[in-house]
Every structure is written in structure tokens, then in C-alpha cells.
Structure 1
Amino acid sequence: MEEKTFRNYDAPDVSVAVKEHYRKMRKNQTYDYVQRMHKKYLTFDKPMDLWEAMTHLNSLIDVSDPDLDLPNVQHLIQSAEAIRADNRPDWMQLTGLIHDLGKIMFMWGSDADGTSQAEQWGMVGDVFVVGCKLPSSCVYPEFNELNPDMKDERYNTTTGIYEEGCGLDNLELAWGHDEYLYQVLNNHKENTLPDEAMVMIRYHSFYPWHSGGSYKELTNEKDKEYLEIIKDFNKYDLYTKSQKIYDLEDVREYYQPIAEKYLGKGPIYW
């Protein structure tokens, strides 16, 4: 596929489910909802081996993705193998392999939260900042007006509840697999992944910022470095998608020592 064929949400073959996913996401992902999800899911009390978590993603197809309808673990291996083929550092290869692993949330999620196989609007898709005005760079911007926060004067201005130039790390983003995995790894005492890897994990779905150019009022100098990191990672996240099928066990022998190097040998607490 050529790059221009990816993320075409207006293409005739984009499923109704993709558009409906974004409608629900925009309607339900409010500032208060995000606070509730942090409290509910950031408990770090569910130990699970990395490879078991990877295996569970064989059961999940990301409904928000207009480009790929394979189990999510295939996308992870495709990303990692492309990074490996380019001889990028081992930590970046591992980051490619695990960057969507926060979607494991569906194992203990619920339809009501949008964190289940059936209802994924609280788990996958492009994220945006909650607590300030939704930008037109969001996918299907016509759904922005459905968000209750856009009728709340605390949240419907360009900066909303934030100070100008506060930086990405001080913003609250829509709840999803990025923030979940970031927080899980941040809590994981054996995690020695470099800061660049954590940036890739936390912000790779933040398309209105890294691809749409929005939120300039809120970003700072540090975020310029973040942007370069994300753009570098993005070509492996997005442009490696294909119908090629891998067997997780076939690549595990190569990636397991790297995973143990940066994440240890014990379970991760989700």
C-alpha cells in the first residue's frame, strides 16, 4: 500500500462501525469520564505475563482502524519487525511490539465504559484533550458538538482548564490504550525503557496534535522533541500495516530476551 491509502475515513469501504465508534467516543469521552476511568482501571492489581497479554490480543480486532481487520497482535508484530528490519535500537523494537498492549483492558472492561470487545470507544481510536475545546482536526469533527463538555464554559475554550504552554505531560487525554499502558509501565518497577519509548507509547494515538497540528496554545518546547519522536515512530505504527500473518511463537524467541532486558522476567501488574 502507498502511504496515501492509509487513514482515509471518507473512503467508500470504511465500515459504518468505524464512524459509529467515533460518534460514541466523541459523545462519551468527557473530562469527568476520564477521571472515572483513571480511578477504575489504574489499580495495578492484575498480574499477567507479557506473552499471555500478547496472546489475548489475538482475540481483539480494533474497530476504529479503517486499514486493518486482523487481530491486533498482528499489527504489533508487523510494527516490531519493520523496526527490526531497519536496525533500529532493541528498545524501539520492543516498543513496536508492545505499543498497543494497553488494549488488554478489554479482558476486564465493560460495555458501559466502552472498554469491551463490543464497545471499544473508551479503548481505541484517535485521542484528544479533555478539559478544553475539541479541535476540527479530530476525525469526523461534526461529532464534536455531541460532547457535553462543549456546552460547559469550564471546558469549551481553547485552553479550557489548562495554562497556556503547560505541555503535553500536564494535559488529560481521552481515555484509551495509550494512557493505560503508559501508566502500567510507569508503575512497573522493573521497567527500564528509555523516555523516548514512553513518549511513543503515551502519544502515538494523539493524531489531532502530531498530525493535525492542534493544541499549539498548550504545548511547550519539550513537546517539539516529543513530536519528532512520534513522527519517527508513526511510520512504523501506520505504514507497516498489511495482510501478512505472523505466529507469535515464531518471533518470541527473538523478542523475549529484549523484553526481559527492559521489563524484567516477572509479571506486569495491570
Structure 2
Amino acid sequence: MEEKTFRNYDAPDVSVAVKEHYRKMRKNQTLDYVRNMHEKYLKFDKPMDLWEAMRHLNSLIDVSDPDLDLPNVQHLIQSAEAIRAEGRPDWMQLTGLIHDLGKVMFLWGSDEDGTSQAEQWGMVGDVFVVGCALPESCVYPEFNALNPDMQNRTYSTSIGIYEKGCGIDNVDLAWGHDEYLYQVLNNHADNKLPEEAMVMIRYHSFYPWHSGGAYTELLNEKDEEYLKIIQDFNTYDLYTKSQKVYNLEEVLDYYQPIAEKYLGAGPIYW
């Protein structure tokens, strides 16, 4: 596919499910919801091997993705192999391989909070800042008004509950796989991934900012460096999507030593 064909949410062949996903996400992802999800999911009490988690993504298709209808593990391998083919650092190859791994929350998720296979609005899709006004750069901005927080005077201004120039490390984003994996790895004692990798993991779905140019009043100088990191990673996250199918077991021999180098050989606590 040519680059211009990616993320065209107005294309005739975009499924009704994609648009409905974003409607539910915008309606349900409030500040209170996000804080509740942090409380619910960030207990780090579920030990699971990295490769077991990868294999579980053979069972998940991301309903929010208008470009790819393959099991999510295929997108991860496609991203990693593209990074590898261009000779980028081994830590970045591993980041490409695992960047969506937070989606394993569907294993213990629920329809009610949007973290199941059937209801994914609390797990996948472009994220936005909660606790302040929703920008027009959100996918389907016509759904912004459905968010109950937009009826709250404090939450509906351009900076909302935050301080001007606070930086995106200090805001609450809509709950999803990015923040979940970031927090899981941040808690992982054996994590030796560099800061750049953690930025890629945490903010790769934050499209209203890194592609839409929103939230300028909240940004600081550090975010300028973050933007360069994310835009670099985005070329592999977005433009490597294809119908090519890989076998995870066949690439394990290459990626396992890299994973052990940066994440250790033991289980990760989810």
C-alpha cells in the first residue's frame, strides 16, 4: 500500500466497527475512567513470559485499525523486521516487536471497561489527553461532544486541570495498551531499554499530538525531542503494514537474545 492510503478513516471501505469503536472511546474515556483503569490494571501481579504474551496476540485483531485485519502479532513482527532491515539499533528492533504488547490486557479485561476482544475502546485506538478540551485533530472529532467531561468547566478548557507547559509526561492520556505496557516495563526490575524506547512505547498512539499538532499549551522543551523520536518510530509502526504473514517461532532465534539483553530472561509482571 502507498503511504497515502494509511489512516484514511473516511474511505468507503472503512468498517462501521472502526467508527463505532471511536464513538465509544470518545464517550467513555473520561478522567475518572482513566484513573479507575490505572487503579484496576497497574497491580503488576500477573507473571507472564514475554513470548507467551506475544503468542496471545495471535488471537487479537485490532478493531480500531482501518489498514490491517491480521492478528496483531503480525503487525509487531512487520514493524520489527522493517527496523532490522534498515540496520537500526537492536533495542529499537525489540521496541518494534513489543510496542503493542499491552494489548494482552484483553486476557483479563472485560466488555464493561472496553478491554476485551469484543469491546476494545479501552485498549486500542488513538489516545488523547483527558482532563482538558478534546482537539479537532482527534479521529472523528464530531464525537468529542459525547464525552461527559466536556460539560465540566474545569475539564473543557485548553489546559484543563494541568499547568501550562507541564509536558506530556505529566498529563493523563486515555487508557490503552501504550500506557499499560509503559507502566508494566517501568515496573519491571530487569528493564534496560533506553528512554527513547520507553517514549516510543508510551506515545506511539498519541496521534492528536504527534501527527495533529494539538496540545501546544501543554508542551515543554522535552516534548520537542519526544516528537522527533515518535515521528521516527511512526515510519515503522504505520508504513510497514502489509498482508505479509510471518511465523513468530521462526524469528524467535534472532529476537530472543535481544529481549534477554534488555528485559532479562524471567517473567514480566502484568
What TM-score, normalized to structure 2? 1.00
In the TM superposition, structure 1's runs of 4+ consecutive aligned residues that sit over 4 Å from their partners are: none
Question: Secondary structure of the equivalent of 2:66?
Answer: coil
Task: Give the partner amino acid of 2:58.
Answer: N
Query: In structure 2, what is the equivalent of residue 161 of structure 1?
Result: 161
Q: How many residues align?
A: 270
Query: In structure 2, what is the equivalent of residue 20 of structure 1?
Result: 20
Task: Give the partner amino acid of 1:18.
Answer: V
1:186-216 per-position Cα deviation (integer Å, ceiling 9, x unaligned): 0000000000000000000000000000000
Report the Cα distance in structure 2 between the residues aligned to 1:168 and 1:134, rounded to whole angstroms. Answer: 15
Task: Give the partner amino acid of 2:24.
Answer: K
Task: Give the partner amino acid of 2:158.
Answer: T
Is 2:191 the partner of 1:188? no
Question: Secondary structure of the equivalent of 1:43?
Answer: coil
Query: In structure 2, what is the equivalent of residue 126 of structure 1?
Result: 126
Query: In structure 1, what is the equivalent of residue 264 of structure 2?
Result: 264
Query: In structure 2, what is the equivalent of residue 138 of structure 1?
Result: 138
Task: Give the partner amino acid of 1:41.
Answer: Y
Report the Cα distance in structure 2 between the residues aligned to 1:85 and 1:260, rounded to whole angstroms. Answer: 21
Is 2:88 the partner of 1:97? no
Is 2:170 the partner of 1:170? yes
1:244-265 per-position Cα deviation (integer Å, ceiling 9, x unaligned): 0000000000000000000000
Report the Cα distance in structure 2 between the residues aligned to 1:41 and 1:19, rounded to whole angstroms. Answer: 26
Report the Cα distance in structure 2 between the residues aligned to 1:251 and 1:245, rounded to whole angstroms. Answer: 12
Query: In structure 1, what is the equivalent of residue 43 of structure 2?
Result: 43
Question: Secondary structure of the equivalent of 1:125?
Answer: coil
Identical-pair percentage: 84
Report the Cα distance in structure 2 between the residues aligned to 1:154 and 1:257, rounded to whole angstroms. Answer: 49
Report the Cα distance in structure 2 between the residues aligned to 1:223 and 1:143, rounded to whole angstroms. Answer: 27
Displacement of 1:147 in angstroms is 0.1
- Aligned pairs for 1:14-93 (under 5 A) are 14-93=14-93
Is 2:37 the partner of 1:8? no
Unaligned 5+ residue runs, structure 2? Answer: none
Query: In structure 1, what is the equivalent of residue 112 of structure 2?
Result: 112
What TM-score, normalized to structure 1? 1.00
Displacement of 1:154 in angstroms is 1.4
Report the Cα distance in structure 1 between the residues aligned to 2:32 and 2:258, rounded to whole angstroms. Answer: 38
Query: In structure 1, what is the equivalent of residue 198 of structure 2?
Result: 198
Is 2:238 the partner of 1:238? yes
Task: Give the partner amino acid of 2:76.
Answer: L
Displacement of 1:76 in angstroms is 0.0
Displacement of 1:105 in angstroms is 0.3
Report the Cα distance in structure 1 between the residues aligned to 2:72 and 2:268, rounded to whole angstroms. Answer: 19
